[in-house]
Amino acid sequence: MKIERVVSDEAVLQELGRRLTQRRLELQLTQADLAEQAGVSKRTVERIEAGATSQLLTMIRILRVLELLDRLDQLIPETGPRPMDLIKLKGKERQRAPRKKKTSDDHSWKWGDES
């Protein structure tokens, strides 16, 4: 299954669990072996492979054991400041995203009793 924007969150979790199971089997690890090396319980590994949610730290530990941690770099690549940002910020690092300006045709939510 290809993970795309239109796929539900639950389906994504199921697919990730399936892929992690396949990788574990490729490395000839049991769930108990993976759990021990990752420092988590066997039940946690079972739940993740079944498509349940988990804490990010747990997932990082499991990805490390399965030799997949470096793939996170592709998932969320490191970016640098754009040249114009460097000029505007005078060498400082951006701390916040800019606020979006409201326009007169803004169709934002209203209480309903407003004209």
Tell me how far apart the alpha carbons of residues 107 and 35 are, in angstroms, rounded to a whole number.
50
Tell me how far apart the alpha carbons of residues 98 and 36 are, in angstroms, rounded to a whole number.
45
Q: Which two tokens stand for residue 38?
A: 């990752």
Q: What pLDDT was estimated at residue 111? A: 75
Q: Write out pLDDT tens, residues 62-114.
A: 999 999 999 988 888 877 777 777 777 776 666 666 777 766 665 666 676 66
Q: What pLDDT was estimated at residue 95? A: 65
Q: Write out pLDDT tens, residues 2-34.
A: 888 888 999 999 999 999 999 999 999 999 999
Q: Which two tokens stand for residue 26?
A: 């490729």
Q: What pLDDT was estimated at residue 51? A: 95
Q: What pLDDT was estimated at residue 7? A: 86
Q: Which fold has domain 9-75?
A: 434 Repressor (Amino-terminal Domain) (1.10.260)
Neighbours of 49 (CB within 10 A): 20
